[in-house]
Chains A and B, each alone.
Chain A
Amino acid sequence: MDGSVYCGTIQRSDSRAEETRRNHLNEKCDSETKTMESVVADLFEEYYDKVVRYIYVRISDQTEAEDLAGEVFLKALKSMGSYRGSTAQLRFWIFKIARNIVIDHYRKKGIRKTVNIDDVEIPDHSDIEELAERRLQAGELAKALKQLTGAQQEVIGLRFFAGLSSAETAQVMGKSSGAVREMQCDAIRKLRTLM
């Protein structure tokens, strides 16, 4: 729409004069404000690791998770222009993109859950206190997570590794907060028996 001025080059202008002016303004803007692009750069700094962890929880492959996490931010940069949410929502928007990239990853690779229940070691130590003291190994968690439904995995990934609230998790997944809490509870119960 007409009549907007931004510090940044979110969208190509309809007017070369406007572009020239914007470039002019940007010299000033750069010193005082941040452009949308740099918002993405800052999001990267803050969330890259969390995105990697979230994706890892979903796909159990660290190298792949790192690659896909990079894609998340490139995608975010690309679609920043169409982002219409508030600043506070940026965080779960990033995870929404991550979620879509994971879904797409599965679709492209045709990956299905292939882990057989027999492959999952049910640990014989049932002492829960002992479990808490001992750090779970990544492999153990990954195996256990595979026994969860995709949605449960997601809840765990978003709540525990992305650091989203259940309300934010609900928004990312397009579910109600109640449904997220329920899945979270079920997932923890199940993981407890598996770990």
Chain B
Amino acid sequence: MREDIEKILDECIDRMSAGEPLENCLADYPEHAVELRPLLLAASGIKEADLPAVSREARMAAKLKLNEALVNRREEAGFMQRLPGLFAVQKVRAMAAVSVLLVAVVVGVSVYAVAGGEGPVTPGHNVAVTAGVSNFQSQEDFVNYMAANSQYSGGYNDNTRAPAGLGLEGEWAQSGAVPMPSVEEKVDMSQTYDRVSGTNVQVIGIDEPDIVKTDGMNIFFSREQYYYYYYEYDYPVKDDMGTGSEGAEWVPPQMDNGIKIISANPPVNMSVVANIDKNGDLLLYGDTLAVFTWEGIYGYDVSDPQNPVSKWEITFDYSTSVIAARLYQGKIYLVTQTWVYSDDSLPIMPMEVNGESVQLKYTDIYYPVMPVYTDSTLNAMVFDMEGGVLEDTVSFVGASYSSTVYMSGSAIYIGYSYWADETPYVIEFCMERLQGIVPDSIIAKLEKLNSYDISDAAKMTEIGVIFEEYLGSLSGDEMARVQESIGSALDQYYAEHMRELESTGIIKIALDGLDVTATGGVPGTLLNQFSMDEYNGYLRVATTIGGGLGFSWFWASGGSANDIYVLDGDLNIVGSVTDMGLTEQIYSARFIGDKGYIVTFMQTDPFYVLDLSDPMNPQLKGELKIPGYSSYLHPISVDRMLGIGQEDWEVKISLFDVQNPEQPAELDKYILEDYWSDVLSTHHAFLLDEAHEIFFLPGDDSGYIFSYAGNNLEIVMEVSDIQATRAIYIDDNLYVIGDEKIVVVDELTWQIVNEFEF
């Protein structure tokens, strides 16, 4: 009865919200009318309550703030996210009409930026402070830490304190699988083949999820997904409130065809034997196929390829996303990130495994003793691939900026970027570097301001005001001159401090025991997984600092530089090579044994060769400048490196001779007429077959098979009209896989064996 009333009341409230008169509802439920009537009248009173109107100014200020954030985000600038007040000066001049609001908005941002921190970083001090690492003891511990180190104010609080150069006790594991390139991976199945390719991965023996896997007999293929997010108006969306307002819809990933299981050996007799109604990257181990979708990971028993049977499933909470996954010795190593926005999101339950919620134990969550900006946990987990059983988990508090994961045979390294608060730097710059550029009276004002015991945020506001007044008093020419002078002084100051402002924290998690064994940090940001590599117990890291952005205020053009750092097992920096490719950014990196190779790019493609045989004394050995860039480097032998990239918007393949590190040379290059190759976005699209001295790469549409025999790059075969994405080989048959067909080529004769459409 009571439930009835509750339901009816609920229904009537909805109907009245949609415009129906109260009486209609009462008429439908005459038996409850007496009880309902006063309740509905009260409900209507609440609904109609004369709440204060939302002020136009507040709405506009919020909108400007959001716009600012949108612009910053588009520019992908870590620095831009914390525009200090000074930046406003520039805009105010251009947009006088909204000057007041803009200043207010930007000042507001500065306040947020400072509010979350413990105190300013002192400029001029190296931020890499050694500190400890600890784990939480309780939820209360965790909440207190998050409260002190995060600010739920919309992402403006990036007052990262020191990155941890955290020396930890404990052994770092010995390198198990020595990082080296390989594409060949024998799969132990019923042997009706002699050799079969695996996904092109970073580290031999450690598989990475991709859209194609094969067991030597079958091909498992999930068509590549394109996520075009449409947002169309006039599209009716079903609306619970019946308002039917203008609608919106993203076009979801194309899920129409699911995963195809294709019987592929022998190649003359191919057929689709089963479909799985999921799409995503795949891992295959023994008889278990794992599918990585946006929602979760799904395990299938594919021992009978014609009847894949669901075995286990891991589904993610909405605040959890996968950063990376690896398959190693039958275990899935999964790195996820869970956004923790307030204590309301506690306890942290990032996922469900076979319907049961996984709850993180606070004692499994580590944090650096030296606080860092925090809004999420980075979780490393081990699942048994066959059973989908969660075997172990460890977490570390971190920030939801870009994270990069590299896994060696002994440890998972998670790199996450963060930025220091610029505010103290701006203040120091103003105090120390403006003599001779602005009048003494302004300097005096600034010094007086700095002597006040007020917050940095308040100082930033006041500095903004001082400059606004000063610049406003100048003529156009004078203003341009002053701006230029400040800009160049700032460039200089920035170059001196950029390594303190932009950092990557690195967490090392030993595979054995899945424990955080060290944390550390390097200046700059990482490009991708190839930016890290473990060798003989040392971690080598390639970073770009600045990314051409520089300080976001005033008229500084900023600068960039690229560094290589060598870290010991405790993640202390023991050696470095700095300042490569000034004004450029890293486009690709590869570490092979005791050598490192990086490509930076702005207009030309400097290819650098580094000798890392002495970790304490890494050296830049050679440099080669050629047009275009390489965004993927693949060693094809001890002294030959392939570079795949672009030149003048066309796909370029370079063959480098790296035998003499001091004199790298481009032995040959080939420019395709194609604009794009998937190799430019994922190394998984590349396939090397050393036995035949060939490699495959997909182009805009065709699949290209290149020979590199005799140091000459030549197209052996172009498989056209296929929308090529990947290739595999089984024995001497190369399967070029496209969106809707597979073309099988005999590698001995380069004749087509079969064209199989599906």
Chain A interfacial positions (CB closer than 8 Å to B)? 1-9, 11-18, 20-21, 29, 32-42, 44, 46, 48-49, 52-53, 56-57, 62-63, 66-67, 69-75, 77-79, 81-85, 87-88, 93, 97, 99-101, 103-104, 107-108, 128-129, 131-132, 135-138, 140-141, 156, 159-161, 163-168, 178, 181-182, 184-185, 188-189, 191-192, 195
Determine the chain A residues whose CB is within 8 A of the CB of B227 once the complex forms.
4-6
Contact segment of B4-12, B83-91, B120-128, B270-278: B4-12
- Please tell me if the beta carbons of B248 and A82 are within 8 angstroms of each other in the complex: no
Residues of the A chain whose Cβ atoms lie less than 8 Å from the Cβ of B62: 44, 48, 66-67, 69-70, 73
Chain A residue numbers with a CB within 8 Å of B281 are: 1-3
Given contacts A12-B76, A17-B646, A135-B48, contact A78 B400 (CB under 8 A): yes
Which residues on the B side are within 8 Å of A99 (C-beta)?
A: 344
Are A166's CB and B153's CB within 8 A?
no
- Of chain B, the residue at the smallest CB distance from A88 is B237
For B62, the closest partner residue in chain A by CB is A70
CB pair A15–B41 under 8 Å, yes or no, is no
Q: Does chain A have a CB within 8 A of B280?
A: yes
Min C-beta distance of A133 to chain B, whole Å: 9
Contact A136 B46 (CB under 8 A): yes
Please tell me if B431 contacts chain A, counting CB pairs below 8 Å.
no
Residues B52 and A2 in contact, CB atoms below 8 Å apart: no
Residues of A close to B13: CB separation below 8 A = 159-160, 184
Residues of A within 8 A of B6 (CB): 178, 181-182, 184-185
Closest 5 CB pairs of A and B: A74-B154, A70-B62, A34-B231, A78-B155, A66-B58
B191 interface residue (CB < 8 Å to A): no
Contact B42 A37 (CB under 8 A): no
- Tell yes or no: B230 within 8 A of A by CB: yes
Candidates B73, B74, B229, B316; contact of A34 at CB < 8 Å: B229
B475 close to A (CB within 8 Å): no
B218 in the interface (beta carbon within 8 A): no
Closest B residue by C-beta to A184: B10
Query: B42–A107 contact, CB under 8 A?
Result: no
Q: Is the CB of A52 within 8 A of B318?
A: no
In the complex, per-residue mask of B141-168: 1 if CB is within 8 Å of any chain A CB, else 0:
0000001000011111000000000000
Q: Is the CB of B240 within 8 A of A73?
A: no
- A74 and B156 form a contact (CB under 8 A): yes
A7-B344 in contact (CB<8A): no
Q: Given the complex, which residues of B lie within 8 Å of A83, measured CB to CB?
A: 318
Majority-rule SS of A interface residues: helix
Q: Are B230 and A33 in contact (CB under 8 A)?
A: yes
**A163, B17: Cβ atoms closer than 8 Å:** yes
B70 within 8 A of A: yes
A141–B400 alpha-carbon span in the complex (Å):
39
Interface 1/0s, chain B 672-710, versus A by CB < 8 A? 000010101110100000000000000000000000000
Question: Inside 8 A of B209's CB, which chain A residues have their CB?
Answer: 1-2
CB distance from B437 to the nearest CB of A (A): 35
Closest CB of chain B to A67's CB: distance in Å? 7
A53/B341 in contact, CB under 8 A: no
Cβ A160 vs Cβ B70 within 8 A: no
B292 contacts which of A1, A15, A18 (Cβ < 8 Å)? A1
Q: Measured between alpha carbons, how far is A21 from B651 in the docked complex, in Å?
A: 12
Given contacts A21-B680, A34-B229, A129-B41, contact A185 B587 (CB under 8 A): no
User: What residues of chain B have their CB less than 8 Å away from a CB belonging to chain A?
Assistant: 2-3, 5-7, 9-10, 13-14, 17, 38-39, 41-52, 54-55, 58-59, 61-63, 65-67, 69-70, 73-74, 76, 147, 152-156, 209-211, 224-231, 237-238, 240-241, 243, 245, 248-250, 253, 280-281, 292, 294-295, 316, 318-322, 337, 339, 341-345, 400, 402, 404, 527-529, 585-587, 601, 629, 631, 645-646, 676, 678, 680-682, 684, 725
Chain B CB within 10 Å, residue with most, of A56, A97, A185: A185
21 contacts between A and B (CB under 8 A): A1-B322, A7-B228, A9-B76, A15-B681, A16-B527, A17-B646, A53-B51, A56-B52, A66-B62, A75-B152, A78-B154, A84-B316, A88-B238, A97-B341, A100-B342, A136-B48, A136-B49, A137-B49, A141-B46, A167-B240, A181-B9
Whether A188 and B43, one on each chain, are in contact in the complex, defined by CB atoms closer than 8 angstroms, is yes
Cβ-defined contact, B147 with A84, below 8 A: no
Q: A103-B344, A136-B46, A136-B50 are in contact. Are A17 and B154 (CB under 8 A)?
A: no
Decide: A79 and B38 in contact? CB cutoff 8 A. no
CB-based nearest A residue for B210:
A2
Q: B231 touching A42 by the CB < 8 A rule?
A: yes
Name A100's contact: one of B344, B402, B528, B646 (CB within 8 Å): B344
B241 touches A195 (CB 8 A): no
Chain B contacts for A62, CB-based, 8 A: 52, 55
Residues of A within 8 A of B14 (CB): 165-166
Residues in chain A near residue B404, CB distance under 8 A: 14
Q: Give the residue among A16, A160, A188 with the most B Cβ atoms within 10 A.
A: A16
Known contacts A1-B292, A41-B70, A138-B50; A107/B147 CB under 8 A: yes
B318 / chain A contacts, CB cutoff of 8 Å:
82-85, 93
Known interface pairs A49-B54, A178-B3; A17-B49 also in contact (CB < 8 Å): no
Q: Which residues of A contact B400 (CB under 8 A)?
A: 78-79, 81-82
Given A88-B238, A103-B343, A136:B292 Cβ within 8 A = no
Once A107-B342, A136-B45 are accepted as A-B contacts, the answer to whether A5 and B226 lie under 8 Å apart by CB is yes
With A16-B585, A74-B154 already in contact, the answer to whether A41 and B66 are too (CB < 8 A) is: yes
Inter-chain pairs besides A73-B154, A185-B2, A185-B10, 17 sampled, C-beta below 8 Å: A4-B253, A5-B226, A14-B404, A16-B601, A17-B646, A18-B680, A18-B681, A21-B676, A37-B70, A41-B66, A48-B63, A75-B152, A78-B155, A84-B295, A104-B342, A181-B3, A182-B6
Least Cβ distance of A14 to chain B in Å?
4
B316–A15 touching, CB < 8 Å: no
Q: Write out the residue numbers on chain B whose beta carbons fall within 8 Å of the beta carbon of A182.
A: 3, 6
Cβ–Cβ < 8 Å partners of B631 in chain A: 15-17
A73 touches B680 (CB 8 A): no
Q: Which residues of B contact A71 (CB under 8 A)?
A: 152-154
Contact call A39/B74, Cβ cutoff below 8 A: no
- The complex places the Cα of A1 from the Cα of B676 at a distance, in Å, of 19
- Interchain CB contact under 8 A, B155 and A74: yes
CA distance A1 to B339 in the complex (A): 18
The CB with the most chain A CB atoms within 10 A, among B39, B73, B227, is that of B73
Given the known A-B contacts A17-B631, A192-B39, are A8 and B51 also in contact in the complex, defined by CB atoms under 8 Å?
no
Complex contact B73–A37 (CB within 8 A): yes
A135 touches B50 (CB 8 A): yes
Q: How far is the CB of A118 from chain B (nearest CB, A)?
A: 23
Q: Which of B50, B76, B280, B316 contacts A1 (CB 8 A)?
A: B280
Given contacts A3-B224, A48-B54, A181-B10, contact A128 B529 (CB under 8 A): no
Does the CB pair A9–B152 fall under 8 Å? no
Question: Contact at B45–A15, with CB atoms within 8 Å?
Answer: no
Question: In the assembled complex, which residues on chain B have CB atoms less than 8 Å from the CB atom of A4?
Answer: 225-227, 253
Q: Are A66 and B55 in contact (CB under 8 A)?
A: yes
CA distance A103 to B336 in the complex (A): 26
B681 touching A2, Cβ below 8 Å? yes
Contact of B321 among A41, A67, A82 (CB under 8 A): A82
* CB-based contact B681/A13 at 8 Å: yes
Q: Report how far A167 CA is from B10 CA in the complex, Å.
A: 10
A141 to B48, CA, bound (A): 11
Question: Separation in Å of the A108 CB from the closest CB of chain B?
Answer: 8
**A44 surroundings in chain B (CB, below 8 A):** 62-63, 66
Please indicate the chain B residues that have their CB under 8 angstroms from the CB of A107 in the complex. Answer: 147, 342-343
- Chain B residue numbers with a CB within 8 Å of A49 are 54, 59
